Amino acid sequence: MTIYELGLQYGAAAMVLRGRIVELEQALGQAGDELARQQLQGRIRPLRLMYRETRAVARHLQRYYRHHRRAGTGREEE
């Protein structure tokens, strides 16, 4: 597996996280009482952080070769 392919896998994982966030946000909009809203917000908050971090790693890995090839230091390893 190349670093680029690993980046694609991280990107796919980020999209799964994003999908779950959207589901929970929809439930938040339909939540009837304040306790349910607070619980949903508590579940959404760490997922947002995980999504941002996973997405950032995906972008970094996918751009790794482009940056290093320009600098003349890139080398693909399995």
Per residue in 1-42, pLDDT (tens digit) is 899 999 999 999 999 999 999 999 999 999 989 999 999 999
Does residue 76 fall inside a structural domain?
Answer: no
Domain that holds residue 63: 3-71
pTM, to two decimals: 0.80
Does residue 77 fall inside a structural domain?
Answer: no
Q: Band the pLDDT of 78: cuts 50, 70, 90.
A: very low
Contact predicate 14/51, CB 8 Å: yes
Does residue 63 fall inside a structural domain?
Answer: yes
Does residue 78 fall inside a structural domain?
Answer: no
Contact predicate 5/65, CB 8 Å: no
Residues 35-74 pLDDT 10s: 999 999 999 999 999 999 999 999 999 998 776 666 665 5
Show the DSSP H helices in the chain as ranges.
Answer: 3-30, 34-71
Cα–Cα distance for residue pair 48/28, rounded to 1 Å: 14
Does residue 59 fall inside a structural domain?
Answer: yes
How many structural domains compose the chain? 1
Query: What are the structure tokens assigned to 4, written together?
Result: 């680029």
